[in-house]
Amino acid sequence: MHGKLTRMSKKVRNMVIGGAGLLLLAVLIYQIPAVKSRLEWRLDVFQVYVKNIIDPVGPVPTALPVMPQPVTPTTASTNTAAVQTLPAVTPTSTFPPLPPQASIKSPEYEKQTANNCGPATLSMALQLYGWEGNQTDISNLIKPISGDRNVNPEELRYYVRTQAGWLNLEYRVGGSIELLKRLLAANYPVIVESVTSLNPGDALGPTDDLWAAHYLLITAYDDSTQEFIVQDSYHGPDLTITYSQLEKEWKPFNNVYLLIYFPQFEEEVRNLLGSDWDPNLNRQRVLSYTESLISDPNADAFDWFNYGSNLTYFERYDEAGRAYDKARELGLPLRMFRYQFGPFLAYFHSSRNDDLLALTNYARGVTEMSEEAWLWYGFGLYREGDYDGALKAWQKADSINPNFFEDQANKAMQLVQ
C-alpha cells in the first residue's frame, strides 16, 4: 500500500513539475516580440469580453438634468459676444470642371497590426512621397503602447512634421465628395476618418455594436461607377466604396480629412482648399452648416454631435454641452468616446462636473487604454477635491501614452486655467 501511494505521489509530482514547465515555456514563448504582438491584443479582447458578460457596459448614458435651455439655431446665432469673435467666411474660389476619373498609383499595401490603423494608413500615404519606413516606425513614437486604441489627426500631423520634415500635413473638417475628387485630380491622396464594422471576433461583449473609427487612404475615383478606391489597412488594398457610402460613414467624424504635401506646393494646396485653408474659416463654415442640419426635426445624433464639436472649437461650451446632450439622448455608438473628446471639454468648462465624470467613467469602461479619457476623468476628480484619485488617473494616462501625455496635459491645463 505504501509503495502504491509513493508511486502515486511521484506521478502527481511529475505532473506538477511538467505543468510548471509547460507554463514556464508558454511564458517564455509569449515574450518573443512576434508572438506577443499577435497574442497580447487577443488576450485583452478576451478579458474585456468576459468583463462585459459579468458587468455589461451598456449604452451611452444620457445627460443629467440641467436648466432647460434648448439649443436651436436662433439661440446659437444670437450669442452676440461669441459671433463677434468669429471671422467672416470668404467665398470659395470657382474651380474648373473635374475629369470623370482620376487615380494615383497605389502604395505597397500594409496590413495593420492591432489598434494600428492610423500609423499603417499614414505609412502607406507617406510611401507615395518617397518615405521609407513602416507603421512600426510611426507607432513607436505616437502610440508606443500597443493597447492604446486611438490616434488623433493631431498625432499623425506631429509625426509628419517632426519625423518627415520635408513634408507637411494639414487636416480640416467638413470635407465633401467634390473636395476629395478635386484633391485626387491634382495628384494628392487623402486620408479620411470614417466608420468601419469590426469583425465579431473583436467584440467587447455579446451586445457590442461593432462600430469603430477607421482611417482610409483614398487614391482614386470614378464618376462612372460613383466609387472611390481606398487602401484599407484592416480589410485590404484597392477596395471600392461608393460616394454615398463614404458620405454616410464619414459623417460621424465631422468629415475630417488629412492632406500631405511638399511645402513648396503649399500655394497650390491653398488654392485647392479655398477659404477652408484657414482653420477658423473652415470651422466657421462647418459650424454654420451643422447649425442648419440641427434645425431639421429629423437631425440625427451625429448632426448634433458635430454641431457640439464645432461649438467647442470656438469655446462656446454651454451651447456645445447642450448639443452633446441631445446627441446622447438620440443614441451614440458605445465606442464614440474612444475617438472624440469634445464633450469632456464642454462639460468641464460649463461646470457640469457630474456629466464629465459620468461620461469619462463610461468611456473608461469601454476603453480602459485611453489616455484622453483618463486625463479628463482626472480633471473631474480634481475638481471635486479627490486629489489622490486625480493623480492616479493622470499617472494611468501617462502609462498609456508617455510620449504624448505631457503635451496633452499641458494643453488641457491651458484650457482649464
160-199 pLDDT, tens digit per residue, is: 999 998 999 999 999 999 999 999 999 999 999 999 988 7
pLDDT level of residue 16 (50, 70, 90 thresholds): low
Q: Are residues 269 and 347 in the same domain?
A: no
Give me the mean pLDDT over the 306-333 stretch. 98
Q: What is the pLDDT of residue 334?
A: 93
Q: What are phi and psi of 70, to 5 degrees?
A: -60, 140
347 falls within a domain:
yes
Lowest pLDDT segment from 18-27, 231-240, 272-281 = 18-27
Using CA atoms, how far residue 44 sits from 27, 40, 236, in Å, is 16, 6, 24
pLDDT exceeding 90 applies to what percent of the chain?
68
Q: Are residues 152 and 268 in the same domain?
A: yes
Helices vs. strands in the chain: H and E counts, helices first: 19, 7
pLDDT level of residue 20 (50, 70, 90 thresholds): low
Q: Are residues 337 and 258 in the same domain?
A: no
Domain end marker among 277, 295, 314 = 277
Q: What is the pLDDT of residue 90?
A: 46
Give me the mean pLDDT over the 33-50 stretch. 54
Q: What are phi and psi of 236, to 5 degrees?
A: 145, 170
Question: Could you say which DSSP state residue 60 is in?
Answer: P
**For residue 79, pLDDT beyond 50:** no
Q: What is the pLDDT of residue 35?
A: 47
Q: Are residues 135 and 273 in the same domain?
A: yes
415 falls within a domain:
yes
The CATH number assigned to the domain holding 378 equals 1.25.40.10
Q: What are phi and psi of 134, to 5 degrees?
A: -145, 180
Which residues are within 8 A (CB) of 46 and not within 5 positions of it... i.e. 6 or more apart?
none
309 falls within a domain:
no
Give me the mean pLDDT over the 22-34 stretch. 55
Q: Are residues 342 and 251 in the same domain?
A: no
153 falls within a domain:
yes
Q: What cell numbers appear for 34 in the block?
A: 512576434
Q: What is the pLDDT of residue 112?
A: 95
The CATH number assigned to the domain holding 245 equals 3.90.70.10
Q: Are residues 338 and 259 in the same domain?
A: no
Q: What is the pLDDT of residue 44?
A: 58
- Domain ranges, residue 190: 101-277
Q: What is the pLDDT of residue 416?
A: 61
Q: Are residues 189 and 106 in the same domain?
A: yes
Give me the mean pLDDT over the 389-395 stretch. 97
131 falls within a domain:
yes
29 falls within a domain:
no
Instruction: Count structural domains, the chain.
Output: 2
For residue 340, give the nearest of 400, 251, 209 by alpha carbon. 251
pLDDT level of residue 77 (50, 70, 90 thresholds): very low
302 falls within a domain:
no
Q: Are residues 270 and 347 in the same domain?
A: no
Q: Are residues 118 and 253 in the same domain?
A: yes
Q: What is the pLDDT of residue 204?
A: 74
Q: Are residues 376 and 237 in the same domain?
A: no
88 falls within a domain:
no
Q: What is the pLDDT of residue 208?
A: 84
